[in-house]
Amino acid sequence: MAALASLATLVGAGASIYGNVRQAQQQNELNRAQIQIAQQQEAARQDALRAQQQEAALQRQQTLAKTIATTRARLAASGVAPDEGSAGALTAGLTQEAAAAQNADDATLRARLAQGRVSLLNPDGTFTALLQSSRTFGFAARNLLD
């Protein structure tokens, strides 16, 4: 009868270990699926941010071109050479301001892209399940030795 109790303890420990490992495998699969979904969402978010950045850059270029053309036309209409002296400095300043604004937007985009990245160090729980299983096996072995 004592041998039957020992055998039942071993079978129970084995079933418990199997259950813990199986649960860890299922949790690992769920974690992988969640990570994949998060990566897809992050890729979509980054694509949207890049599209917004391109739209803003194009809009800034068009506004700059219109502003410079208008300024040059006004200067030329008033008898000033639009590419020389203070008129040239004015158009160069407009170009520099647009470049500075673009650089600021680029820095903001890089920060926003880096903000939502998923860590590769997310735990998958496999080691924890193994530790729990070994603890169960240790209890069974101790019961057999008693």
Residue 133: is it exposed, middle or buried by C-beta count within 10 angstroms (0-12/13-18/19+)? Answer: buried
Structural domain span for residue 126: 2-145
Q: What is the mean pLDDT of each run of 10 residues along the chain (146 residues)?
A: 70 81 87 88 87 90 90 84 79 87 87 67 53 62 61
CB of 144 closer than 8 Å to CB of 6: yes
* CA triple 62-66-70, angle to 5 deg: 170
Cα distance between residue 108 and residue 56, in whole Å: 12
Count up the domains in the chain and report the number. 1
Question: Residue 62: its pLDDT value, please?
Answer: 93
